[in-house]
Amino acid sequence: MRRLMVVLMSVTAIAVSAQGSREPDWATLEEETLRHFQTLVRMDTTDPPGGERPAAEYLKQVLDRAGIPSQMFALEAHRPNLVARLKGNGKKRPLLIMGHTDTVNVDPAKWKFPPFSATRSDGHIYGRGTVDDKDNVVAALMSMLTLKRLNVPLDRDVIFLAESGEEGSTRVGIQFMVNQHFAEIDAEFCFAEGGGMVREGGQVKYATVQTLEKIPRAIELTARGPAGHGSIPLRTNAVAHLAAAVAKVAAWEPPISLNETSAGYFKRLATISSPQAGERYRNVLDPDPKVSGPAAEYLLEREPRLAALLRHSISPNIIQAGYRVNVIPSEAKATLDVRLLPHESDPAKFLEEIRKVVNDPAVDVSWAPRDVRPGNPAASLDNDAFAVIEAAVTKHYRATNIPTMSTGATDMAYLRAKGMQCYGVGPATDVEDGPLGFGSHSDQERIREEELQRFVRFHYDLVAGVARAR
């Protein structure tokens, strides 16, 4: 009942404030949104090697022209973080809105359109970073500009952090900001990447808001054996031992383990799905493995993004071995992408489990270096920020809102570990896009132009709804 009242109050507040102040002219702002978005997507800010300075400088120039003070903070000169702030009256603690300016790497030969061209085609914009994460960067920028231009009175400061290094170099980005400049970004609430609207058949089916995330780790399998001539096969062949170990780990399924967020996700999803799908989603909640097991197997085969919510996950992604065809190598290595459930993230215990699965003295199992986010508590569903999210989802998408645990990692984990209430949001994307190779980190990353514009409007309502003076 309390949550319902808070949501109703937020809807009313949005409506009242809309009547009491000028509303943005979105038809005019669409051209500006597109211009900023294409400019940023056309910048090669891949990480590694990392080179976010052009993006940060561009954002600073735009903010400077609008009269919004901003400052750069850099551990490495070519990889700065930009912080801008709109001052409120101080009645409430600040709101942080965040996006990262770096992207993952590309193989240009695999792209239909050049990866940094921001090509507009068939209603989409193509390019690296279009949905990870220059959409959030531009939405945050447009929210700041619009609040400033309309002179919206604020009960709390609004802080914009355009961060570097999210895609694998957090030491220059969020870790640097949290460890050395936390006062510049300290806030009660935070909106960043990690959620989004799920479209199917051209219609938004439901909204996901990330309130929790799995913890990324990396495991290295190293097989060793004597080198030799390829014409004389050996049972000690390191490649053969490594291949067997990788196959065992890939086939192993940790037990299903649900937390409050993931269990709630499947419960809500069941209520808006077909009878057959709803039954499967309810079945994965059943403690009886004879009921949950077949449902989980179906998801692994047909809906792997949902299956990844059920348990620790392991994906063998890199194998290195050999240097010529007639030489048996003495060493072979595989690197596994591991995502641990936050409520069962005992690294030592998990590593020992993998050793038991491999069960081969010729294969060493150890943790490999990577950015490891801290354990993080789930954000609350019972506060003003979440109520505003639910109201804005209803207004812009007319969809059910489902809090979710992200299988991927975001920099919000560092902020949640400091006590900040963080929520992952994002634009509507088509479920068909992922399997077709159009999703984030793919070779044809793209965003629907209309959904970029709708997300910007949605994002502004989130920010204004939380920060505007009542």
Q: 107: cis peptide before it, omega within 30°?
A: no
**162, 55 Cβ separation under 8 angstroms:** yes
pLDDT of 381 higher than 80: yes
pLDDT of residue 99: 98
Mean of pLDDT values over 159-172: 96
- The kind and range of the H/E element at 416 are helix 412-416
Cα–Cα distance for residue pair 222/362, rounded to 1 Å: 8
pLDDT of 13 higher than 70: no
Q: Which of 143, 99, 125 is nearest to 412 (CA)?
A: 99
pLDDT digits 0-9 by tens, 67-86: 999 999 999 999 999 999 99
State the average pLDDT for the chain: 94
Angle at which helices 134-149 and 449-467 cross, to 10°:
50
How is residue 303 written in tokens?
A: 């809906």
pLDDT digits 0-9 by tens, 193-252: 999 999 999 999 999 999 999 999 999 999 999 999 999 999 999 999 999 999 999 999
Percent of the chain with pLDDT over 70: 96
Q: Which are the contacts of 215, defined by CB distance < 8 A and separation ≥ 6? A: 339, 340, 341, 342, 345, 372, 373, 374, 375, 409, 413
Strands 95-100 and 189-192: parallel
**426, 197 Cβ separation under 8 angstroms:** yes
Three-state DSSP class for residue 205: strand
Whole-number Cα distances in Å, 343 to 130, 260, 264, 266, 459: 32, 10, 15, 17, 30
Mean of pLDDT values over 459-469: 98
**Taking the CB of residue 113, how many other CB atoms lie within 10 A of it?**
16
Bridge partners (DSSP) listed for residue 103? 46
With bands split at pLDDT 50, 70 and 90, how would you rate the model's confidence at 129? very high
pLDDT of 153 higher than 50: yes
Q: Which residue did the predictor score with more confidence, 12 or 159?
A: 159
pTM: 0.89
| Chain centroid, CA 81 distance in Å | 18
Give exposure, 257-270, as e/b (b: 16+ Cβ within 10 Å): ebbebbebbbebbb
Cα–Cα distance for residue pair 397/206, rounded to 1 Å: 8
Q: Determine phi and psi for 307, rounding to 5 degrees.
A: -60, -35
Q: 94: cis peptide before it, omega within 30°?
A: no
Q: Contacts by 430-434 with C-beta closer than 8 Å and gap 24+?
A: 430/199, 430/200, 430/202, 431/198, 431/199, 431/200, 432/200, 434/305
